[in-house]
Amino acid sequence: MPTDIKFNTVLAEYQDRMLDENERMASLSVSERIERRDEFLLSVGEEAAIFMNLLVKSSKAKSVLEIGTSYGYSTLWLAEAAKVNGGKVITLENNIDKVIYAKAKIAKAGLSKYVDFRTGDAIDSIKKAKETFDFILVDIWKKLYVDCLDAFYPKLNDGAWVLGDNMIFPPTTKNETLAYQKRIRELGTFESILVPFGSGIELSQHHLKS
């Protein structure tokens, strides 16, 4: 676990918000949750966040792409790893209010230098990006997963890790995440496995064909 005081202060603030949100979400119906989804962090959760943080560090990934910033919970963990590696996180989000909130948290954690916030449609941002990537978190609305994959596929470095969240939970988006799983496995350049923690992660490593 990172020991930096500023990181841990901000992490505790997210954890408080998460506890509060979990209670509020439990009182809503499925349709109300969908309708009000922009009020919530919708984060990958602590297990997945720690896993990603460790994977970025151990793979020494420098160029990290996060597709779906939301309020910045996963960005915090990715940015801490990018700092250790001397790298950077490019994070994509189209909701300006969420980006303002996430920027403030990342600044408070002392990690602004390691995050490049790009506001707007994620698929456009991926297509416009001049960078190539060592690590990608796919955590946007699930109907966009396959389009995201097609957009970032030509920009993957050899050995790049790609993590697709929400493969198991929520069940309401199962068809969309299954389409992503099928596509990434059929491309023929990934070793890919479903890891059943957090909301279920499709963990894939890309190997350039020689």
Ligand X SMILES: C[S@@+](CC[C@H](N)C(=O)[O-])C[C@H]1O[C@@H](n2cnc3c(N)ncnc32)[C@H](O)[C@@H]1O
Longest dimension (CA), the chain: 53
What are the structure tokens assigned to 126, written together? Answer: 């991926």
Answer for which of 98, 103, 105, 206 binds ligand X (CB under 6 A) is 98
CA–CA distance, 184 with 186 (Å, rounded to integer): 6
* Contact call for residue 173 and ligand X (CB under 6 A): no
In the list 18, 60, 95, 176, the residue contacting ligand X (rule: CB under 6 A) is 95
Please tell me the count of residues contacting ligand X according to CB under 6 A.
19
Q: Please report whether residue 43 would count as binding ligand X according to CB under 6 A.
A: yes
Do the beta carbons of residue 148 and residue 127 sit within 8 Å?
Answer: no
Distance CA 27, CA 35 (A): 14
- Residue 85 in contact with ligand X, rule: CB under 6 A: no
d(CA 169, CA 133): 26
Q: Which stretch binds ligand X (CB under 6 A): 57-65, 89-97, 170-178, 187-195?
A: 89-97
Positions touching ligand X (CB under 6 A) are 41-44, 68, 70, 73-74, 92-95, 98, 121-122, 139-141, 144
